[in-house]
Structure 1
Amino acid sequence: MAKVTVVGSVNRDVIVTVERLPVEGETVLATSTREGIGGKGANQAMAVARTGTEVTLVGAVGDDEAGARLRSVLADAHVDVSALAAVTGTGSGTAYVFVDVDGQNQIVVEQGANAQVVLDGPALDLVRSADVLVVQCEVSDQVVAEAVTAASAAGTRVVVNLAPYRSAADVVALADPLVVNEHEAADLLGRPVAGATDVRAARDELLALCRTAVVTLGSAGAVLVTPDEVVEVASPTPPRVVDTTGAGDAFVGVLAAGLASGLSLRPCVEAAAAAGSLAVQSPGAGSGYPAFHLPRG
């Protein structure tokens, strides 16, 4: 059975709805507040699970009430949480998410237990035995590097979501694919990247850094870059946009699930773009994801 291991963050999301996002120095009034689950690791793991693919999350929560709730939500979503540690004396990570009426967001994250994720022997075994490893950058650089190195040595395919952006050349070099948005691609390349034309122009630069790359373009879809082709993949237009939080994580999770099931990269990106479009139609991130469907191989 196809199997994905995600090494990453788990957060308690505090979601504040506003008429419009504040500008610098401005105070705006909230129209509602609610809590949910987030963190790129948790979101991506739940997106994998929504495809029916087996997935294990390696991460950490606090030994607090929030940590127990987060663990329960993940387990209910069919994510294996056997490698999700509870860190004594530390609170769970918390993300403060501000969402406007158009579904756009601003996010501030307190790392909490995510800063104390470690890879012990059993966790490394989960990395090595997976078909696909997924990492992001909301846990320590050391943990990300250890996971990617172990996976690559074992023949596990590595999906690196370089978000939030960090300089990590050794990790990026093993990515197949590297997944970045336009802002992260610009940080990586040291120059502006805006739209598919700029991604096409950066083909050789990207392939000098990683094995394959996917640059996401929000509602415009994504661009797949491989040694053989550069392909623009459109994103289906959603009938409504409720909340864009977690759309990129849905993209990454479905892409990884497709790779684990044996699909080639292009149909995985197409399925991922469709998943991102579906994700924005529901409030919240991982716990609000609908079922995602993979194409037949």
Structure 2
Amino acid sequence: MAQGGYVWWYVDALSEDGRQGLTIIAFIGSVFSPYYALDLSRDPFDHCTMNVVLYGERANRFCMTERGRDSLRRDASQIRIGPSGLAWDGTTLTITLDEVTAPIPSRVRGTIRLRPNGFTRDTFTLDADGRHRWWPMAPSSPVEVTLDAPSLSWRGTAYFDTNHGDTALGRDFSDWTWCRADLKDGSAILYDVRRRDGSTQNLSLRFAADGTRRDIRPPLPAALPPTRFWRMPRTTRSDDEVATVIRTFEDTPFYARSLLASTLDGEPVRPVHESLSLTRFANPLVQFMLPFRMPRRAG
């Protein structure tokens, strides 16, 4: 991995009733780390973290403790960062969590099992020079969530992807929006990127449940209101140029996660949506606040 580079594995899941969700991101080279940004060695292996977010009606938690290279263990089938990890046995991705929230400590501990029906074949470059790659590995899979702390269990569907880059996100991108939606057969993904040079990339993808790529009707731009507290801008796309926000899960100075209602490829859907502003992320005030939510530990 290049100095200043990164790789992450991303899972987001929503319960069958839509009342509870989670996001898990395992980072090597934590792209949102203030410590990594200031490290002159630019060693990605010394800036690893397991970001865990629970959101919904039953529980809300945020964990993002950064750890050094001595806390990283990995091989062809698993990765561990401190007390948490991801392991693949050929049929099931098992995620074990034992994390602590910040700034007010509380435990998030338990197991998530995701069983993909198949994997996609295509990897996409997000910038003109190919420094940032994205592979939406398993866009829609059954998932089981069993947590001891907080006491919580549910089933639903999950999305699993990975991103790999050779340099900091803020060097090449100013912002992006992304969303994924379950369809009757498989899923749809929209990924809209705005680069620092002013160029854009708009991906509209559809995959069957087994990962086979399918054609999709290109959706049209749809406006969304900004978030209530931080006024984070949000936009998306839909067949009829109409989308609404059902619930805002995360409202931060540079990132928002929401549950929407829209129409994609002729189907009414409820996409999980994110907006990221790397321009806002670079603001010195935001950088000052980050350590309060993203502490760094030696082990």
**Interval containing the TM-score (normalised by the shorter chain):** 0.3 to 0.5
The structure that is strand-richer by fraction is 2
Higher relative contact order (CA 8 A, sep 6+): 1
Higher helix proportion: 1
